[in-house]
């Protein structure tokens, strides 16, 4: 009966089980004197899919009453709601723990697995290893063949890695092109080197994309418990440090980590020395990511972002030197270098009578905690004669939450000089608008993580709209980061965001390229003004 209801996608009523051919196979299971009839109702999902069948044995030897049929339909509807709710819950739980692209555990679940492995290893005096892998030059795949091809490569390499590992080894995808392997059943670290070599071999095998052969490699860092850390976060962090050491040695390799090597490593000391020389030799350059007014489409400022123009390695991205710069406190000097270069560039733009808006400078946590911060800023700005109206300083939520009264005093001092202040990456830290109203800030920047899924994701859209509405209620300007598509831009325009920045308009570009953008904008503005004047002239 249930199968018949499923096939019909509608109710199936049998008034005489003893004689109806549909129920022939059920007669041996049913006392037809007590239950002479039966019915089945399909449980349909809201998209029209079949979720199951609701069936009932009936004591009447006739068709059920209309009242009973209504109750049966209600029961089927309730069952549909319950099933879809359960599936939605399961889907949410799955998304919270697994990477959607590869189906592998994500960083959250991986960290739990590492924690559990360490707990078990404690009891049996065992060892645990974390291998953190980062694909070398993966960005070239996306840039050359597009993101869809990049995703296909990630899926294929995830499958390669999985096939290379033992069943008991856990493989997780923890970032764009980062993977972690958890190994908690080994006797000798040499075994870990063998595993790493197998993974490197898989990464080297060519990928066929649109009929073309593409090559990749990987860099692997290895950290072990108990020697390299006694908790999951430390072990993963140290594996990450070891991985960057492998990259620094030319990529396509693996490196082990140890506390002793971490503090005394020749490589680390050499890189620190290189950073110090880079500051002395002015090897740091500033790229600018334009900020765009949503209403006019014009450039109204930019964020200044540091890059290292290494004499041998070329342009080094921030992720490869900022962590060490922060650890060695060189970040404070680099921050002042960025301000110095930005002020110089602003001066050059003003000499050409270009309107550059406000250039945003990121302040680090250590800079914000430095009692000489305001003096240092004023010294650089006064040396270049930079108008304060051309500068904005970006800070994060966490920087102001530890000592709120002191933070407010610092921000008051910055504002008193005529600079504005922006809260960067809003939504990723404390996210407290109650505290936000106490801080003397001018601008709030919504983090890219909230923009990624708008307008398709209702929750993300609701959050962004709420932040924009509440920010405007506090008289704060709103800048949205990470805008990459026309759909996102249109949604933000409807939501009421004031400005945006992101790859949709431009990635961070060198000064000369940013200057050219401003020149083109000024020329377009001039041409528009001339057209308006011409049109308004009498014939």
Domain termination site, one of 96, 118, 137: 96
* Cα–Cα distance for residue pair 321/270, rounded to 1 Å: 12
The answer as to whether 535 is a domain residue is no
Q: Which of 43, 63, 96 represents a domain boundary (last residue)?
A: 96
pLDDT at 210: 82
Examine residue 385 and state whether it is found in any structural domain, yes or no.
yes
- DSSP state, 23? G
| Pairing assessment for the beta strands 391-396 and 358-362 based on DSSP bridges | parallel
CA pair distance 421, 423, nearest whole angstrom: 7
276 and 252 fall within a common domain? no
Neighbours of 441 (CB within 10 A): 22
Each residue of 333-380: pLDDT tens digit?
Answer: 999 999 999 999 999 999 999 988 999 999 988 788 788 899 999 999
Does residue 289 share a domain with residue 257?
A: no
Helices marked H in 125-165 — which ranges?
Answer: 138-145, 147-164
- Do 326 and 452 belong to one domain? yes
Indicate which CATH number applies to the domain containing 457: 3.20.20.450
Cβ atoms of 254 and 193 closer than 8 Å:
yes
Same domain, 57 and 141: no
Among residues 342, 338, 321, the alpha carbon closest in space to that of 276 is found at 321
Q: Which helix (H) or strand (E) holds 57?
A: strand 50-58
Those residues of the chain that have pLDDT short of 50 are 261-265
Note whether residue 536 is domain-resident: no
Same domain, 162 and 64: no
Same structural domain for residues 407 and 516?
A: yes
**Within this chain, do residues 275 and 393 fall inside the same structural domain, yes or no?**
yes
Nearest to 185 by CA among 279, 117, 87: 117
- pLDDT value for 502: 94
What pLDDT is attached to residue 484?
94
Same domain, 343 and 489: yes
Number of domains within the chain = 3
In a domain, 537, yes or no: no
Last residue of a domain, one of 96, 119, 142: 96
52 within some domain = yes
In whole angstroms, how large is the CA radius of gyration of the chain? 31
Cα-based torsion angle of the residue sequence 389, 391, 394, 399 in order, rounded to the nearest 10 degrees? -80
CATH number, position 217: 3.30.70.270
Quote the pLDDT of residue 258. Answer: 72
Regarding whether 279 and 260 lie in a shared domain, the answer is no
Reported for 508-516, long-range contacts at CB under 8 A and 24+ positions apart, including other chains, are 508/287, 508/288, 508/289, 508/303, 508/305, 508/307, 509/287, 509/288, 509/289, 510/285, 510/287, 510/288, 511/286, 511/287, 511/288, 511/345, 514/287, 514/288, 514/290, 514/302, 515/348, 515/349, 515/352, 515/354
In a domain? residue 534: no
Amino acid 265: pLDDT: 45
Residue-number span of the structural domain to which 515 is assigned: 271-527
pTM (whole model) above 0.85 = no
| Contacts made by residues 529-533, CB under 8 angstroms, sequence distance 24+ | none
> Quick one: 226 and 303 in the same domain?
no
Pair (176, 301) in one structural domain? no
Could you tell me if residue 102 is inside a domain? no
Residue labelled with tokens 């971490």: 262
């Amino acid at each position: 009966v249930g199968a018949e209801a499923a096939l019909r996608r509608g109710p199936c009523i049998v008034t005489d089980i003893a004689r109806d051919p549909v129920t022939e196979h059920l007669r041996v299971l049913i006392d037809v004197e007590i239950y002479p009839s039966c019915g089945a109702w399909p449980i349909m999902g809201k998209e029209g899919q079949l979720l199951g069948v609701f069936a009932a044995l009936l004591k009447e030897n006739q068709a059920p009453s209309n009242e009973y049929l209504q109750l049966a339909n209600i029961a089927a509807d309730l069952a549909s709601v319950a099933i879809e709710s359960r599936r939605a819950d399961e889907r949410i739980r799955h998304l919270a723990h697994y990477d959607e692209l590869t189906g592998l555990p994500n960083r959250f679940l991986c960290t739990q697995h590492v924690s559990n492995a360490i707990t078990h290893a404690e009891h049996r005096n065992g060892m645990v290893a974390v291998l953190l892998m980062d694909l070398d030059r993966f960005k070239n795949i996306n840039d050359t063949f597009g993101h869809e091809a990049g995703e296909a490569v990630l899926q294929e390499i995830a499958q390669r890695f999985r096939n290379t590992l033992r069943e008991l080894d856990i493989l997780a995808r923890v970032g764009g092109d980062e993977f972690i392997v958890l190994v908690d059943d080994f006797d000798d670290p040499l075994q870990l080197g063998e595993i790493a070599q197998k993974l490197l071999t898989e990464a080297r095998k060519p990928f066929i994309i649109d009929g073309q052969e593409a090559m990749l490699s990987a860099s692997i860092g290895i950290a072990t418990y108990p020697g390299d850390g006694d908790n999951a976060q430390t072990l993963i962090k140290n594996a990450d440090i070891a991985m960057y050491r492998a990259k620094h040695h030319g990529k396509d390799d693996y490196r082990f980590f140890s506390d002793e090597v971490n503090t005394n490593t020749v490589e680390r000391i050499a890189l620190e020395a290189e950073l110090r020389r880079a500051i002395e030799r002015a090897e740091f350059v500033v790229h600018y990511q334009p900020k765009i007014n949503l209403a006019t489409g014009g450039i109204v400022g930019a964020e200044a972002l540091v890059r290292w123009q290494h004499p041998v390695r070329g342009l080094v991205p921030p992720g490869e030197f900022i962590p060490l710069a922060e650890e060695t406190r060189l970040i404070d000097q680099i921050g002042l270098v960025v301000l110095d270069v930005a002020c110089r560039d602003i001066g050059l733009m003003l000499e050409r009578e270009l309107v550059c808006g406000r250039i945003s400078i990121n302040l680090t946590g250590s800079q914000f905690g430095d009692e000489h911060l305001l003096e240092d800023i004023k010294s650089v700005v006064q040396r270049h004669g930079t108008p304060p109206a051309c500068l904005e300083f970006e800070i994060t939520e966490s920087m102001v939450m530890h000592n709120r009264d002191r933070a407010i005093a610092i921000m008051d001092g910055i504002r008193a000089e005529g600079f504005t202040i922006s809260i960067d990456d809003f939504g990723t830290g404390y996210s407290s608008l109650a505290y936000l109203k106490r801080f003397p800030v001018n601008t709030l920047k919504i983090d890219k993580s909230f923009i990624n899924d708008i307008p398709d994701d209702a929750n993300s859209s609701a959050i962004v709209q709420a932040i924009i509405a509440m920010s405007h209620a506090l008289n704060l300007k709103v800048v949205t980061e990470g805008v990459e598509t026309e759909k996102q831009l249109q949604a933000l325009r409807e939501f009421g965001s004031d400005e945006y920045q992101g790859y949709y308009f431009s990635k961070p570009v060198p000064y000369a390229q940013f200057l050219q953008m401003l020149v083109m904008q000024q020329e377009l503005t001039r041409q528009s003004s001339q057209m308006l004047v011409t049109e308004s002239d009498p014939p």
